[in-house]
Amino acid sequence: MTKTATIFIDGEAGTTGLGIRDRLAAIPTVIVRSIDPSRRKDPEARRALMREVDLAVLCLPDEASIESAEIAISLGNEAPRLLDASTAFRVNPNWVYGFAEMAEGQAARIAAAPRVANPGCYPTGAVALLRPLIDARVIDANHPVCVNAVSGYSGGGKSMIEAHEATGGPAFELYALGLEHKHLPEMMKYAGLTRRPIFVPSVGHFRQGMLVSIPLHLDDLPGHPTAADLQAILATRYARSRQVHALQADSNGKLEPEALNDTDQLELRVFANEARRQAILVARLDNLGKGASGAAVQNIQLMAGLISPESIYE
């Protein structure tokens, strides 16, 4: 008999929720249950539906996600498994971090977990670049890392989307210049950094797509590696991954952010000037794909047993 899973998306009308629902519609073994829109904020209605499903996906602001998780957990043995798309639980030790390709065994941990925190879009790129290099000790965990990133405006939520689509919005803007962006704790924890990185996010006037870049002085790194050394470490780590790929840097020295839109792929490159002993690590992804809804659907399938942990690899 074919295995099926029933899913409730709490917050399905938001950008991430809609993206998850659209992707799940293509998976015949998933049944999405919806709540009456007039009762979507009714705790009792949500509790009743949670009791009937295998998995609840929380696509809500942080405080609302905490409330929804408490409703689910109050059901005890009848509680569904939880996948949270907010930042509320990403560094909580009782929740498994939902970046399946991050480390060996992570997909299996996701598959077995009662509660999983879906990664943020910016940390997905930064962690994918940094974690293998820190594990290999070619970047020290205490290295002063600077992460620069640009995202399409869909990553900014409803108000930013409305501003850009109604009035055109700014062509480009830096934000979170108080250096307290909510993605910093997970970026630091899962990359393996012991020193808080400087993170400079920005938004461009395009709907979706993302570049995350990390500049490095190669002679400041342990062992003075070459760019080829960094590339080889990334290529080895992700050699069998279906979604994460370490590619050679484009010879023209350019990279645009929208090439992976509407996919769940993540590309990693090392650009360098060896004569100057400088390099830039760059991740490219769709902030709505591998950076949000695409990652969530992969986690849903792992948690529901619809795919095996081994299936994320070739």
- For 63-90, b/e burial (b = at least 16 CB within 10 A) is ebbbbbbebbeeeeeebbbbbbbbbbbb
Task: Please give the Cα distance from 187 to 86 (Å, whole number).
Answer: 14
14 within 8 A of 58, measured Cβ to Cβ? no
Across the chain, what does the average pLDDT equal? 95
Give the active site residue among 111, 121, 230, 295. Answer: 121
Q: Does the pLDDT value for residue 273 go beyond 90?
A: yes
For the residues 148-176, what does the mean pLDDT come to?
A: 87
Both tokens of residue 296? 């969530």
Mutual orientation of helices 121-135 and 184-191 as an angle, nearest 10°? 20
Of the listed ranges 97-111, 139-153, 159-173, 178-192, the one predicted with least confidence: 159-173
Q: Band the pLDDT of 13: cuts 50, 70, 90.
A: confident
Task: Please give the Cα distance from 174 to 154 (Å, whole number).
Answer: 15
For residue 207, give every residue at least 6 positions away whose Cβ sits within 8 Å of its Cβ, in sequence order, or none.
152, 153, 154, 164
Q: Domain spans of the chain? A: 5-119+292-312, 121-287
Give residue 1's pLDDT. Answer: 59
Task: Please give the Cα distance from 190 to 120 (Å, whole number).
Answer: 11
Is the domain spanning 5-119+292-312 CATH 1.10.10.10? The answer is no
Q: Band the pLDDT of 131: cuts 50, 70, 90.
A: very high
Q: Is 146 a catalytic residue?
A: no
Which residue type is seen at 180? E
Q: Does the pLDDT value for residue 179 go beyond 90?
A: yes
Task: Please give the Cα distance from 111 to 5 (Å, whole number).
Answer: 14
For the residues 1-26, what does the mean pLDDT come to?
A: 91
Give residue 158's pLDDT. Answer: 75
More confident position, 262 or 160: 262
For the residues 184-209, what does the mean pLDDT come to?
A: 97
Q: What is the CB neighbour count within 10 angstroms for residue 35?
A: 18
- The percentage of the chain sitting over the pLDDT mark of 90, rounded to a whole number, equals 88
Q: Does the pLDDT value for residue 244 go beyond 80?
A: yes
Q: Does the pLDDT value for residue 202 go beyond 80?
A: yes
Q: Does the pLDDT value for residue 234 go beyond 70?
A: yes
Give residue 41's pLDDT. Answer: 85
For the residues 57-83, what does the mean pLDDT come to?
A: 96
Of the listed ranges 164-173, 177-186, 213-222, 282-291, the one predicted with least confidence: 164-173
Give residue 257's pLDDT. Answer: 97
Give residue 159's pLDDT. Answer: 76
Q: Does the pLDDT value for residue 225 go beyond 90?
A: yes
Both tokens of residue 37? 């829109």
Fold of the CATH domain 121-287: Dihydrodipicolinate Reductase; domain 2 (3.30.360)
Residue 130 phi/psi, 5-degree rounding, is: -85, -40
Task: Please give the Cα distance from 6 to 52 (Å, whole number).
Answer: 8
Of the listed ranges 36-50, 91-105, 257-271, the one predicted with least confidence: 36-50
For the residues 13-35, what does the mean pLDDT come to?
A: 93
53 within 8 A of 35, measured Cβ to Cβ? no
